[in-house]
Amino acid sequence: MSMYRNRFFLAGVLLILLGIQFRMVDSFVLNESTTRMLARVTKSTPVADNSSMSNFMMSVHPKPMKRVTPPRWLGLAMIAVGAVMSCHALALPRQQRHD
């Protein structure tokens, strides 16, 4: 027995909740290992700054961490797609049980 309708509904609800979460936050700060992996994958090198302020900040907080700011439309798009998926799940016919 396939749970096609239930899976569509669950995916829609999860997208709605994730979209609400994306609308509530301004930015994410990645941890050190994720920042290093992202720099390796994108092959970008951080710009070395020799100013006294950056040297002081590196001595206080030496771990490099990247701040990711998601676009504002992403949360709304996730909410919209989740709502469509949930409504589509409600429109799907229920499966009949054959015992």
Q: Which amino acid is at 69?
A: T
Q: What is Dmax (Cα atoms) for the chain?
A: 76
For 21, 55, 77, the CA distances from 29, given in Å and listed in that order, are: 15, 21, 22
Average pLDDT over residues 17-39: 89
Which of 17, 8, 15 minimizes the C-alpha distance to 92? 8
pLDDT at 67 over 80: yes
Are the C-beta atoms of residues 78 and 13 closer than 8 Å to each other? no
Average pLDDT over residues 12-37: 91
pLDDT at 68 over 50: yes
pTM: 0.66
**Rounded distance, CA 22 to CA 74, Å?**
7
Q: What pLDDT band is residue 1 in, cutting at 50, 70 and 90?
A: very low
Average pLDDT value over all residues in the chain: 81
Q: What is the pLDDT of residues 29-45, one digit of tens each?
A: 888 888 888 888 887 65
Are the C-beta atoms of residues 36 and 64 closer than 8 Å to each other? yes
The DSSP secondary-structure symbol of 43 reads T
